[in-house]
Amino acid sequence: MDAARGDPTTARRGGSDAALAAATTLLADSPAAALDAAEAILAAVPGLPPAELIAGQALRRLGRADAALVRLAALARSQPRVPAVTWELAQAASDAGETGAAIAALERLTGQLPAVAGGWFLLGKELRKAGRANAAWRAELQGVQAAARDPKLLEAAAAMNEGRLEAAATMLDTRLATAPEDAPACRLRGEVAWRQGDMTAALDLVGRAVAAAPGFDMAREFLVRLLLQTNRLAEALDHARVLGGSPAANPGHELVMASVLVRLGDQQGAGAIYERLLALRPDQPQVWQNLGHVQKTLGRQDDAVRAYREAVTQAPTMGEAWWSLANLKTVRLGTDDIAAMRHALADGGAAREEDVFHLHFALGKALEDAGDHAASFDHYDRGNRLRRAMIRHDATAFSAEVAAAAQLFTAAFIAGRGAGGCPAPDPIFIVGLPRSGSTLVEQILSSHSQVEGTMELPDMMMIASRLQGRVDDGEFADFAAMVTSLTAADRTRLGEEYIERTRVHRQSDRPLFIDKMPNNWQHVGLIRLILPNARIIDARRHPMSCCFSGWKQHFARGQAFTYDLADIGRYYRDYVGLMAAFDAAAPGAVHRVIYEDMVAHTEREIRRLLDHLGLDFEPACLEFHRNDRAVRTASSEQVRRPIFTDGIEQWKHYAPWLDPLVAALGPVLPAYPGVPAL
């Protein structure tokens, strides 16, 4: 007689395989049936480990964690080297509130299977329950390292990096459907959403990753960057502070904090971080460049020059550092600098595309200063063409949007809205084009005892973009229908939102503050509806001077229309048309400052400006160049000097090459400072 026939227990165990498989299948949807099936198997084969495991799993899924824990603890004593048993024991102990038992099981499990991320993350969660925050953080960092070797996550990451975003999203959504708290999958899915342009989903997913694993530093760092992109600065600061406490010391966390401080206007705090990092390791050209930006903003020009020089010494092809040097309007780059930049351009292997266009802009400025206007224009033109190819700007679509706004915000429409909007008189909006003299106006006003200067705040544009999103999502036929639908309460809420969002930038008790985002000219009608007592200043400069100055200026972000002479001329024309329409709809609501008049008749124009704002004249406004506030715009050095006329007619040196700009400006050019008939 063979062994199977001679041993009835063995026979019974062999016959239970099919029953075990069936019981396992029932676990997900019918844990009660799975428990019954396991008990039936155990009645036939007492103590059968696979059946005991299924029974424990079923009890836990039925919410009977205490009973599950008893059975699984006994099973773990007899099967101490079976990871599945240890894993179930840990989860049952967690569900039963037996944190110590859960930690003990998970420490054993992660010792057995260190490459399984889930064990580390669950261990982190239990350690946090026990108040062992640093140990939890380290466990979660171990989980991140383990996840970095997960084949499925690697496959999804590869798809994302190859641009196959839908494929990556599908892989990750499938994974998250069964494991919604899988922190690495959440973070990666968030990055996919961000690359797809869905910022709302990206924030939600990366936030879930951080909530599931608070020690997941890479996820938190990404979350800070997303919050910065959406101007949620207070939240970004909170998360940056948490990162600073990570047990895994990382200079990158300090750089994240510095980025947040820069956005909050705390240039000195950011500068202190950069100086500390450079004291520890001076061979960091990017940090030297960042320090240069801070020193420039604080008005410490000599220190800025030294920092930028150190950056290009360490990284000769670092185009942004060269451009930053050239962009210090009071610094001239010499023949050695020009030779070094030309050499950097020739070093095609080292210079990235971003370096190349920055180098062209820097060479354009250096050669302009040297009086070689033909060569200067060539480099400006090449830099602009490269940059234009990298950005999206549909001039025709933009003109249509502006025309629609002009048709919407008529006197009758504004009057028909009646009361509503936040009555706060705090904001002073300075609008116009970049390089129009708006920084000069800001510096003058911020020298007044009742006015606080902040920076170019994106909040009004973000509110307008969110409202446009409702149109894009099909909720309304067009922007006019959406604005018309806003009730008085809606407009009040939106105005209050703007005041609250900008509060983080106010560092004094001065009653008024400046928002110098130039692009807000596009939203003067919305401003009127949601902040009826806000003041609007239109800073305007001769169209050739303004547009040419903007075209030869590389902006860090936000000005996609400046990289083509025809685009910027058309933009200026759109701006003049909309502001003229608003002047007709709301006479006197906007005070216009003509740059050339401000330069020629400074005190007279300052008094007119202050009268419009209802402010008394203060001599400090004439001494604006003594104001030591931080200034982040391209005019930061110029506004620290008395009024000067150097730049008014610089464009004339380039007149032979500016026909596309003249053509795009059309009737706006000869009408200046007036406007052509609507």
Element (H, E) at 667: none
Return the DSSP state at 357.
H
Exposure string of 86-113, with b = 16+ CB inside 10 Å and e = fewer, is bbbbbbbbbbbebbebbbbbbbbbbeeb
Q: pLDDT (tens digit, 9 = 90+) per residue, 128-148? A: 999 999 999 999 999 999 999
Percent of the chain exceeding pLDDT 90 equals: 81
* pLDDT, tens only, 158-181: 999 999 999 999 999 999 999 999
Q: Domains in the chain and their CATH numbers?
A: 3-147 (1.25.40.10), 316-390 (1.25.40), 395-452+513-671 (3.40.50.300)
Question: First and final CA of the chain: distance in angstroms?
Answer: 108
Q: Among 16, 13, 59, 15, which Cα is nearest to 35's?
A: 59
Whether residue 1 is predicted with pLDDT greater than 70 in this model: the reply is no
Total-model pTM: 0.81
Alpha-carbon gap, residue 561 to 541, rounded angstroms? 17
The answer on pLDDT for 6 being more than 60 is: no
Distance between CA 453 and CA 636 in Å, rounded? 13
18-27, 327-336, 400-409: range with highest mean pLDDT: 400-409
Burial 541-571 (b: 16+ CB within 10 A, else e): bbbbbbbbbbbbbbeeeebbbbbbbebbbbb
pLDDT at 52 over 60: yes
468-511 residue pLDDT tens? 999 998 999 999 999 999 999 999 999 999 999 999 899 899 99
Neighbours of 38 (CB within 10 A): 28
Q: In this model, does residue 156 exceed pLDDT 80?
A: yes
pLDDT of residue 330: 77
Q: What is the pLDDT of residues 179-214, one digit of tens each?
A: 999 999 999 999 999 999 899 999 999 999 999 999
- Coil, strand or helix at 454: strand
- CA-CA distance, 422 to 588, in Å (whole number)? 20
Over residues 520-553, the pLDDT tens digits come to 999 999 999 999 999 999 999 999 999 999 999 9
Phi/psi at 171 (5° precision): -60, -45
Question: Residue 350's pLDDT is what?
Answer: 60
The residue-averaged pLDDT of 626-637 equals 53
The per-residue pLDDT for 14 is 52
pLDDT category at 627 given cuts 50, 70, 90 is: low
The average pLDDT across 280-301 equals 94
If DSSP codes are grouped into helix, strand and coil, which group holds residue 557? coil
pLDDT confidence tier of residue 628, bands split at 50, 70 and 90: low
Task: State the residue for tokens 């400025």.
Answer: 365
Q: What is the pLDDT of residue 497?
A: 96
pLDDT exceeds 90 at position 624:
no
- What sign results for the dihedral spanned by CA atoms 445, 447, 451, 453? positive
**Paired tokens of 614:** 């209802």
CA pair distance 467, 471, nearest whole angstrom = 7
Q: How far is CA 200 from the centre of its chain?
A: 12
Sign of CA dihedral 644, 645, 647, 648: positive
Which is nearest to 591 in space by CA: 615, 571, 570, 574? 615
What order do you get walking across the sheet with 512-515 strand by strand?
451-455, 512-515, 427-432, 535-540, 590-594
Place 262 in a pLDDT band, splitting at 50, 70 and 90: very high
pLDDT of residue 646: 59
User: 658 φ, ψ to 5°?
Assistant: -105, 20
In the beta sheet, which residues pair with residue 429? Answer: 515, 536
What's 298-339 look like in SS3?
A: CCCHHHHHHHHHHHHHHCCCCHHHHHHHHCCCCCCCCHHHHH
Cα 6 from Cα 145, distance rounded (Å): 51
Quick: pLDDT tens for 573-586: 999 999 999 999 99
In 3D space, the residue among 610, 644, 612 whose CA is nearest the CA of residue 625 turns out to be 644
Average pLDDT, the chain: 91
Model confidence at 606: pLDDT above 70: yes
Name which residue leads in pLDDT, 14 or 37. Answer: 37
- Average pLDDT (398-426) is 95
Long-range CB contact pairs, 124-127, < 8 A, 24+: 124/213, 124/214, 124/215, 125/94, 126/90, 126/94, 126/99, 126/102, 127/103
> Are 55 and 39 in contact, with CB atoms under 8 Å apart?
yes
Backbone angles phi, psi at 430, to 5 degrees: -105, 115
